[in-house]
Structure 1
Amino acid sequence: MTQRSRRFLGQLAVSLVFLLLLLGHVGGLYNFYFVEKLDASLYDLKLRLFREQGVDDRVVIVDIDEKSLREIGRWPWPRKVTAQLTENLFEQYGVAAVGFDIVFAEPDQSSGLPVLKDLARGPLAGEAGFARLLDRVAPGLDYDARLANALGKGPTVLGYYFGFGPAAGRVGALPPPLSPCNQLAAQGVRPLVASGHGANLPGLQVKASDAGFFNVQPDFDGVIRRQPLLIEYQGQCYGALALSLVRAGLGLGAPQVLAAGEARALSTSPASLALDGIQAPLDENAMVLVPYRTERAYRYIPATDVIHGRAPAAELEGRLVLIGATAPGIMDLRVTPTAKAFPGVEIHANVVSGLLDGSIKWEPAQARRWNLIAVAVFGLVLALWLPFATPVWAAAVAAGLLALTIGLDFYAWSVQHLSLAPASLLLALAGLFILNMSYGFFVEARAKHLITRLFGQYVPPELVEEMAKDPARYSLRGQSREMTVLFSDIRDFTSISEGLEAAELADMLNVYLSAMTRVVQEHRGTIDKYIGDAIMAFWGAPLSNERHARDGVLTALAMQRELAALNPQLEARGWPPVKIGVGVNTGRMSVGNMGSEFRMAYTVMADAVNLASRLEGLTKQYGVGVLCGEATRAACPDIAFRLIDRVRVKGKAQPVAIYQALGLKAELDAAVLRLAERFESALADYQARRWDAAESTLRALNTETPEPLYGVYLERIEHFRREPPPADWDGVFTYTTK
């Protein structure tokens, strides 16, 4: 068998496995979350692109908002307030109908009437005067009765909810059902079956024109894209709040559920709900897709303005009104395709608009069958053709088919009001193209070759081998990471270079840089660049490294030790010995391939990088070999540090503490740690202006173990005695040069 045949069979096998997996999802054998999520995302995109614009003047939302809560008080309000709101809507503003996205399941207690009645039956049972007074004031304190009377002043629709599952209770009185549900199964519709309800007080329900449930149905990802129009309870069908409000406001009769074909000539939806000329396509669970409109599609009028008669009458007269809440504390905010915090009452408003406009999209009953055929046919053709196609032709055909699929889907949505699910077909087209083009390139030896080519010049060979095992995790693209960076530099390099011939200088640098680079790579570091005699390295990229700070500090200490072993070799060849300073700092950095169109380099950039460079320069000022930043010290609990100073480096307004790395605590002599503690005590005295105490400790230390660091502070103390620092001096030393 030729190599080409083997490659064709391999590509065909991979393509067929991919297709079979996808067809199993389309056929309903199992569900791939990412395919469902893609379909949902495409649905949301179409909805946002093609949704109805402008304000729907027919529907107004009377809003229990923060302003209303401030003026009237916390929710729930006394029923007399809700009664006043309802009375004003009908008597003062002349609205067409009022729907409540609220349930009144319990008797009102705010008037105190139940307490007075308990007193009349109990402690004051024999007080005739109290009984007569109670009879006189009771009608005015019966807020439920007042609300019931208000509900009778016009077409009103109360809200309630259905419960599902064995724990669902049965509270309140339901409205009369729309119709029995036993005929819907024959029409392809099976509404959700409720087991309980939370409805309104019987005295309120009997006075209202109707009631509608306000249940919504989140999709698998928690987003509300659909709402039931009918729910079955004890064999009877009940209508949604939006449906009942339209019926009440327009004075329509009971709706009918029409089977597919009865509703429209070419309809392939399971069924449609018909309401005196209004049709709404239902899915198999008697739900409709919510036709969300653009932002600010409805006028919101604060409930307090209606109660106090401040609302503009022209915006309410003759309108369908929904009373609901947007105040955050009432928790009626939902996740929808158009917003992460969407008022629940506006969902019902959108359904009302969709019913009035006939703009509700519908899902064809045969959509799954169409999808299955399209994926199978197009997928098989591509699987057989792509192995022989050139990359250019393959890309052109795949792009054309993808564009055609998306175009037809957008056409079906915007013109035919069809909601299709094209994700499976799109994934089949794109997936087959990607699999065939990448076969033998990413899956085989090219992955290791690519990683080696990209990172071989930066990281040790053993790390390249490790990266090649999972090349997809590594990229030269810019990323933001918590990392550690190191700068090292030869002290007095100018003097050294002036004393050597150019060839000798190059040879010496090669020996020095090779030795230091080995130390960096032994500690899993990435060499960034050589800047003359300076070395820049970092930890934490391209490989993640939770111990990047520790590795960076140990590298700096190892470089000092390596230098002590290297200097005798340099001197043996007639070259001067070398001293270096090393700065190490940790922080969030941008790492990736950076540069210009002419030259790129894998490097790091950030303020934390600049600080590391400044720390390297400060090692000469204090006469120490390694200086580290605060974040580095905090990330290395097993390494001993000595606080050297608090400084403001050039280019930074905020002071930083700088530390000298001493070594692993477990390996250090106790005397070294005691000397560090004594110096930090002297530093504390210095920063507190206790010059005598600081000087005494520093001179004692300088006598025992002389260090340039002690001389630095003795000179500062002498200076401050002559010229005391200002009263607001914070002990920070400011450097004005790099």
Structure 2
Amino acid sequence: MINNRFSRALVIALVTAGVGYGIFYKTDLETARGLDALFKLRGSRTPPSEVVVVAMDEKSDTKLNLYSDLTEWRGFHTRLIQELQRQGAALIVFDLQFIASQPDHDPALAAAVASASNVLVTDCVQTPTSARDQCSKANKKTFSNTENGNQPAPSKSSIEWKRIPLNRMLRSAVLDHAPFLLSNDAENTVVREVWTFFNGLVEAPSLPVLTWFYYLQRSGALNGIALPKHLSLWLAEQRMQCPTSARQLKNSGLMEDNLTESIEEVLCSDDTRHLDFYGPPKTFRMESYSDVYEGKVGNLSGKVVFVGKVYRNDLSNREDNFDTPLMTTQTGRMSGVEIMATQFANLLEGRLITVPAWHSLILLVFCLLVGLVLTQFAGFTGIIISALLSGAYVGLAVWCFSSYGAWLPIAVPILIQLPLAWLIALLWSRRDLLKERKCILAFVHRVFPQWMPIPTSSKEWFPEINDETQARSERDVLGICLATDIEGYTTVAAQHTAHEMWELLNAYYQVLGYPVASHKGIIADVTGDAMMAVWIDLPAAKKRLGACLAALEMALAVEKFNETATTGCCLPTRIGLHEGDMTLGRLDAGEGSHYRAIGDTVSTASRIQGVNKYLGTRILASSGVVTGLDDVVYRPVGRFRLIGRAEPIELMEIVGLKADIDMTVYTLHQQFALGLNAFEQGQWEVAASHFQILLNQYGDDAPSLFYLAIALKYTKNPPADWEGVVTLTGK
């Protein structure tokens, strides 16, 4: 049994893992849904205090009387740089491109930049796939023509990666310069990853990477390493020489191990890395350009200051604004300079989003655990437990993401693998159910004939007919039908395999069927947890007595079976009996024929056994079944209108044989009869009093509890047009 369950769990794990791997590696589901969900579940986190964004925002536009053309701001940058230098900013990074010359402003700006000696600027890179194509029109014209201006523009392929140089005066003044590009994907506009190096630009580093290395140099973290004046070319060389260059840095022993590992990862890893966003737009400390320009902002000493265009109030789709995972309609899109600052802050923390190397194993283990749960706990219980397990896994993934930036897959496991595992388990359960039914059918045909007549031919239904060719297909009879049902069968079946249920039901129906055979009954049908038996072709008194005795012996046999069952399973059984007309006949189904008892008597017997659920009894019969039976002890338990029947029916609880009943049972029945009589006459308080006295004197009596509850209810809210009949709305 254990091996079988583990085998099923393994099959579920392998199938769901295989599908999950295909979706994980062939689609962007995990990125578009899983990564974004992790950001939203984690929420915002505090960015490094060393990073400050100086926003060229709407407030500054108004104060400085400027407009959207960023080249018009150049005349103000000189004073801004001087103010930042006065306050001791560590580095000043412009998310701006200084391509065209402005003779009125460039000399003063170049002097301020050279004096500060800590200014980094963005290179303009012209490429069809860049979302930040802000090279000036004049430069594009110059770029797109040859020097004499007479040659046609080059093809698109020839300008796919073109780095536009700074104007000569500023190029000699800045500390360094590097490109910063963001991917422009029309199908997926959300920015999740950025370039660290540009293969199309001879492995040039991105501006945030360059800024990080200058920050490390100026903070003393790279002391002892021979570095050139301009780190951009040095970084490109180190990148092209990986992993040799990284190994040399590591072997030098001049840096801390964790820093060496971070540098090696940046230098030698993929060209792009996923960003660990700190929150929605405006999460970084952000100061207005005009406030810094006017000296109104303090506490900038040692800060890395990023200067760029930011739209604080306008949330529309402005140029150089981008969708991010934590963006909302209230926060709007994130500016390019904030994304640049985010990449630098990630490098400063040594924390970019990383996918663990063992993520494939995680997917497999998740599938195996879900498979084990679904095979151990069948049905709704298994679904609930597997859902809770999935919730715990998501919680673990969020914790790893929040604490370490480790990106565990959640979209594929939760959206694909878990539902697929549920579907496979459901189909397997359905297959087991069909297999179980086949086993039960085989049991009926192979086991019962060992000790009793089974109606498998017309001769057994119609004994008066000797010639098979003369047999009719149906026969109307007056008889008694006995219906049984196992209480809680669905729960038991869900906990066992089909073969285990076959063995259990085999033993159970042997116990159940013997009393039928010994009292001249015929088993008409067995379906799952239900059995139907009939008594025909006997005098009325013998039919009634035989059916009642069989029911009593069944109850005792099942009780003993439950006590001694080696499987530990309990199969409490409800029994219902009804007398009336039935049709015994053949039902043609394809190539085979099946003989069954059909009619209202059969369905009513089934309904009567269902009333046991309400009254807490085991054997109930319609009043006609016990007529004339002096040796059988029974008590009236009221009139009921069963579901599907308009006319009420009086029911009797069959208690036992007169020789086996103690006198206290008769006294209990008398007290119950007083309460039932008052109940049927609508005397609710009197009825409740009788039932309460009975319970106080004799302890638990399920029918008394049933009627006491109704009587107390009707005391407060009596029904209209009371007929003394209890109407049941369920089977």
TM-score, normalization: structure 2? 0.43
TM-score, normalization: structure 1? 0.42
